[in-house]
Amino acid sequence: MVEGQPMKDDPGSPATFGQNLDELERIVRRLETDTHLPLEEALDLYERGLHLSKQCRERLTSARQRLTEIDASQEDADNLDDEPGDDGS
């Protein structure tokens, strides 16, 4: 891999959220600072950035859904503990 180039998708080892976010930040920084970037390379970087952004959004949505389910499960458990007649004896 060439320094500064985006990592290509490797189906054998999915990137973590943090890795995707780091790569996205590098792409944004490069697009903002490299004024001599060839158009085709800039377009490729932009496209890769969109892909990474979508992956990050999907993972955040999934994490938010899991948190909602965990919270709901905990509320159900708390409600069972608070039922009348359940004095723990």
Q: Give this prediction's pTM.
A: 0.68
Confidence of residue 81 (pLDDT cuts 50, 70, 90): confident
Q: Is residue 41 part of a domain?
A: yes
Q: Is residue 53 part of a domain?
A: yes
Confidence of residue 85 (pLDDT cuts 50, 70, 90): low
Q: Comparing 48 with 5, which gets the higher pLDDT?
A: 48
pLDDT for res 1: 36
Above pLDDT 90, what percent of the chain? 66
Q: How many domains does the chain have?
A: 1
pLDDT for res 4: 45
Confidence of residue 5 (pLDDT cuts 50, 70, 90): very low
- The CA distance from 82 to 45, in Å, is 55
Burial of 21 (0-12, 13-18, 19+ CB in 10 A): middle
List Cβ neighbours of 73 (8 Å cut-off, separation of 6 or more): none
Q: Is residue 12 part of a domain?
A: no
Q: Cα–Cα distances in Å, from 63 out to 25, 68, 69, 70?
A: 21, 9, 10, 10
pLDDT for res 76: 82
Q: Is residue 61 part of a domain?
A: yes
pLDDT for res 61: 97
Domain assignment of residue 70, given as a range: 17-77
Q: Is residue 87 part of a domain?
A: no
